[in-house]
Amino acid sequence: MTETTTNVEPLNIDKKHKVRKRKCHIAVGVILLLIILLFIIALILALTVFKPKQPRTQLLSATLDGVAPRVSFPAIKIELNITLDLKLLVENKNHASFKHGAGTSSLLYKSKQVGEAQLSPGFIPAMGSSTLPCRLTLEVDKMASDLPTLISDVLGGELVVETHTRIPGRVKFLGFIKKHVVAVSRCQFTLSVKEMKIKSQVCKRSGDSLQSYRALEIVISLPYCNFSFVGIMIWGFALALLT
């Protein structure tokens, strides 16, 4: 009688272990299924309802801080100092926040870069906007090849220059879906040397998506950990094998 009881106990323990192991497998499978469903739902929302829109940049104002032209003869010598104070409006049309890094704004004369300024990084909330100041100085030493044209423009009282602005960043949906985007704008100004102001301006806006270069990044953020979707899948399968 004692031997029969002793033989039954290991069988019961083994049976309980198998049941527990099966429950663990089911639990891991359910968790993985929920993660996959969550990923699919988030991806569908990201491509439809929350489809990323390129941030727009718009020039609010442009003023001449200083113009100091000087042309001497018979030895032709020109000294010119032009500083532009620009205010750029960056509009975020997404239902998600837009965090941008340091941008750049270049000054061009006759399609040649003659100045550059850095834009500070920042954060724009969903459906919000932010104003970025920009100070550009025209570097005359880079315009040596266009000196005759430059002299003619200065003596004529007008200068036509362009600014190219590029602001990289990323939009963040639902707290864990991130997409990298770049806001780009191009503006052409006609500067009045005598009146020290902008006579006319024409701006074009565009957005360049980096999706073809960088895949959509899916990250699940927890208070103390950050797990990528692939990492969670690997962790789940490893746990299933161990159990």
**Three-state secondary structure string covering the chain:** CHHHHHHHHHHHHHHHHHHHHHHHHHHHHHHHHHHHHHHHHHHHHHHCCCCCCCCEEEEEEEEEEEECCEEECCCCEEECCEEEEEEEEEECCCCCEEEECCEEEEEEECCEEEEEEEECCEEECCCCEEEEEEEEEECHHHHHHHHHHHHHHHHHCEEEEEEEEEEEEEEEECCCEEEEEEEEEEEEEEEECCCCEEEEEEEEEEEEECCCCCCCEEEEECCCCEEEHHHHHHHHHHHHHHC
Higher pLDDT, 104 or 13: 104
**Residue 222: what pLDDT?**
35
Q: Reply yes or no on whether the pLDDT at 193 is more than 50.
A: yes
Please give the share of the chain, as a percent, with pLDDT higher than 70: 59
Mean per-residue pLDDT, 19-35: 83
Computed over every residue of the chain, the mean pLDDT equals: 70
Mean per-residue pLDDT, 81-104: 82
Q: Reply yes or no on whether the pLDDT at 39 is more than 60.
A: yes
Categorize the per-residue pLDDT at 219 as very low, low, confident or very high, splitting at 50, 70 and 90: very low
Over residues 93-123, the pLDDT tens digits come to 877 888 888 888 888 888 888 888 888 898 8
Give me 12's structure tokens.
């019961």
> What pTM was estimated for this model as a whole?
0.56
What length does the chain have? 243
Q: Among 15-29, 67-81, 101-115, name the one with the lowest average pLDDT.
A: 67-81
Q: Which of 32, 53, 35, 33 is nearest to 43 (CA)?
A: 35
